[in-house]
Amino acid sequence: MTARITPLRLEGFEQLPKHARRCVFWEVDPSTVGDDHLTDPEFEKEAWLSMVMLEWGSCGQLAVTTRADSAADEPEPEAGSDTGIDLVVPSDAAGLTLPAADDWTAPAVMDDPCLGFAFYAPPGAVPRARLFPTAPVSADAILLTAIGVECAEDRGLLSQSLLAAVVNDLVRRGVRALEAFGYTAAVTEMSDGGKLPEELSPVVAVLGDCSVEDCMLTSDFLEEVGFTVVAPHPYFPRLRLELDKGLGWKAEVEAALERLLENARIELPIGAGMSGAGFGAKSVVRQQGRT
């Protein structure tokens, strides 16, 4: 059973995992919510997705299982599509199966089990983004807010494939860069002891079951997949992935896609268990041989 990544459509909202449907860490300004409580966070999340899709377009990617009967009909991957910029691909990825880039735009079947998801949007549509000490996001960039993986196997490869689908979408739309706020290991260490600086309180404000550790990407993960730090910070650095490299950029994009399709293949075993890897790709499998 292979994984298939498609743009998230509003009618596919119910396919998202429960936490993904209810998490409004990025989508709601905590200062506007009294007593850290939202009456209906799922409604707020769906309303936010609807607003962004209406005003800007696709803002999510959904990974679902591909049934055996449909997988046999899928075309072979084609090199030369505009996607994949310097994504770090594990050396042991050969032999896995990634759907063709052209097929990423096909709608998911409503009853296909969700394996993972990614969310991204213009920074102006993300209220919490302005609260970070390394804000604002660059004017030419889109903000990546979440990558979550639910499957028990190949978390690292699926996380990178979701990111590749995001990059593919943004390159086709002429976006120059993708940025993200990461959090460092120091955040967890300091928050456990209640020692985070007071000025970071708005950043780490909890909304229901939404928190930094559950709803943000780690800076380690972002650097592993090719992002570079553009605004250093001991707790919340801002990182950037360039999508437009000027002269020769198109050839580099095509070469990156070809490498990705040939080397990062995803095969999910039939009956693979589902586990809450959560937002932020916290359960990303590190490359073999790395510490």
The interaxial angle of helices 155-172 and 249-263, nearest 10 deg, is 150
Regions in the chain scoring below 50 on pLDDT: 1, 71-72, 74-106, 246-249, 266-280, 282-291
Please answer whether residues 225 and 214 qualify as being in contact, where contact means their C-beta atoms are separated by less than 8 angstroms. Answer: no
So where are the chain's domains?
Answer: 2-281
pLDDT in tens, 46-90: 999 999 999 999 999 999 987 655 544 544 433 333 333 444 443
pLDDT in tens, 111-128: 678 999 999 999 999 999
- Selected from 2.40.50.100, 3.40.630.30, 1.10.10.1590, 3.30.565.10, the CATH number assigned to the domain covering 2-281 reads 3.40.630.30
**Helices in the chain by DSSP H: which ranges?**
18-22, 41-55, 68-71, 155-172, 185-192, 201-204, 212-215, 219-224, 249-263
Q: What residue ranges in 8-108 does DSSP mark as E strands?
A: 60-66
Q: What is the predicted pLDDT for the residue at 82?
A: 37
Q: What is the predicted pLDDT for the residue at 192?
A: 66
Please answer whether residues 10 and 34 qualify as being in contact, where contact means their C-beta atoms are separated by less than 8 angstroms. Answer: no
Helix, strand, coil: what percent of the chain each, to 5?
40, 20, 45
Residue 141 belongs to what H/E stretch? Answer: strand 141-149
The proportion of the chain whose per-residue pLDDT surpasses 70, expressed as a percent, equals 65
Q: Distance between CA atoms of 85 and 164, rounded to whole angstroms?
A: 8
3-state secondary structure at position 13: helix
